[in-house]
């Protein structure tokens, strides 16, 4: 798995929507109850119960999306001591939850710093050019539509699951799919873990194509032991939705500049012809 760090593809205008999405995700993460303790590894039971209650209210749940079956008992965020020891209290929900709206709120929730920073890195690198090509308003709608497509696509494949679905990965996967359609020949600086992190400049079609193949492999359960904890199927659906929505914009998209003079992070010596 390569780590993208920068693309050689300048933008014509400031990607305000991309920056706003990154800021919103960071702010929501910082305000999510119980996350600070869980990230540090020393979260108390009260923090974990509060986090469970928060996610139950604002995360997307496949069973709720497909069957519209809202649970009768949910975590309340309180802790009580029972015959089996302390645990989270459950009770009737004190709120009215809209499964459809929960898809939108879930797109701004993340479970860890690693989850958040990984998503924001991909959004920063590939979102600015996609927004530049689409425009601010159209990119905003595109981002939301891809997020909904990813969530409902995953829910259709896991209709009876009661596990919360959180993260911007599905929407960002749509951005990656759009970037692949619009700028397949753009050069991406990546770090390849090979004894050390080796910097390479690779074409976007190779970087994003290999990412998509890995998602498909992981979604099948091959090559990874915890495939059930990551919604790889949502990544696949979001990626394909992004490709489909961006396809009409491919004609007329100016090609990215061809980088010259750089090789593996160092400036190459000029060659003289006679």
Q: Domain holding 186: CATH number?
A: 1.20.1540.10
How far is CA 98 from each of CA 54, 139, 170, 203, 233, rounded to the nearest angstrom? 14, 25, 20, 42, 23
Q: The pTM is what?
A: 0.87
List, in order, residues 6 or more apart from 190 with CB less than 8 Å away: 2, 3, 4, 5, 199, 200, 201, 202, 207
**Domain assignment of residue 164, yes or no:** yes
**Domain assignment of residue 215, yes or no:** yes
Residue 120 has pLDDT above 70, yes or no: yes
**Which domain range does residue 140 map to?**
3-33+96-255
**Domain assignment of residue 56, yes or no:** no
**In the structure, what pLDDT confidence band is assigned to residue 47 with cuts at 50, 70 and 90?**
confident
**Domain assignment of residue 162, yes or no:** yes
Angle between helices 113-134 and 136-157 (to 10 degrees): 130
Q: What is the pLDDT of residue 69?
A: 81
Q: What is the pLDDT of residue 122?
A: 97
Dump pLDDT digits (tens) for 210-231.
Answer: 999 999 998 877 544 444 578 8
**Domain assignment of residue 73, yes or no:** no
Domain count, the chain: 1
Answer whether 165's CB lies under 8 Å from 234's CB: yes
**C-alpha to C-alpha distance for 11 and 94, rounded to whole angstroms:** 47
Residue 72 has pLDDT above 50, yes or no: yes
**Domain assignment of residue 52, yes or no:** no
**Domain assignment of residue 45, yes or no:** no
**Domain assignment of residue 118, yes or no:** yes
Q: Identify the CA nearest to 129 among candidates 68, 181, 66, 51.
A: 181
């Amino acid at each position: 798995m390569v780590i993208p760090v920068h693309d050689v593809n300048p933008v014509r205008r400031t990607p305000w929507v991309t920056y706003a999405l990154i800021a919103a995700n960071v702010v929501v993460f910082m305000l999510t109850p119980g996350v600070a303790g869980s990230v540090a590894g020393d979260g108390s039971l009260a923090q974990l119960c509060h986090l469970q209650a928060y996610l139950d209210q604002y995360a997307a749940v496949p069973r709720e999306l497909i069957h519209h079956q809202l649970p009768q008992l949910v975590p309340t965020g309180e802790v009580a001591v029972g015959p089996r020891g302390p645990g989270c209290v459950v009770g009737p929900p004190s709120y009215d939850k809209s499964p459809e709206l929960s898809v939108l709120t879930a797109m701004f929730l993340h479970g860890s710093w690693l989850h958040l920073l990984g998503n924001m890195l991909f959004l920063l690198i590939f979102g600015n050019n996609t927004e530049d090509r689409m425009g601010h308003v159209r990119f905003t709608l595109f981002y939301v539509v891809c997020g909904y497509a990813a969530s409902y696509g995953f829910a259709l494949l896991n209709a009876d699951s009661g596990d919360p679905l959180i993260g911007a990965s599905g929407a960002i996967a749509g951005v990656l799919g759009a970037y692949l359609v619009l700028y397949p020949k753009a050069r991406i600086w990546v770090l390849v873990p090979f004894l050390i992190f080796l910097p390479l400049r690779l074409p976007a079609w190779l970087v994003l194509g290999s990412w998509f193949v890995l998602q498909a492999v992981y979604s099948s359960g091959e090559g990874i032991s915890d495939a059930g904890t990551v919604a790889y199927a949502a990544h696949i659906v979001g990626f394909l939705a992004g490709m489909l929505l961006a396809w009409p914009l491919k004609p007329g998209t100016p090609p990215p500049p061809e980088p010259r003079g750089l090789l593996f992070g160092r400036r190459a010596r000029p060659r003289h012809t006679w």
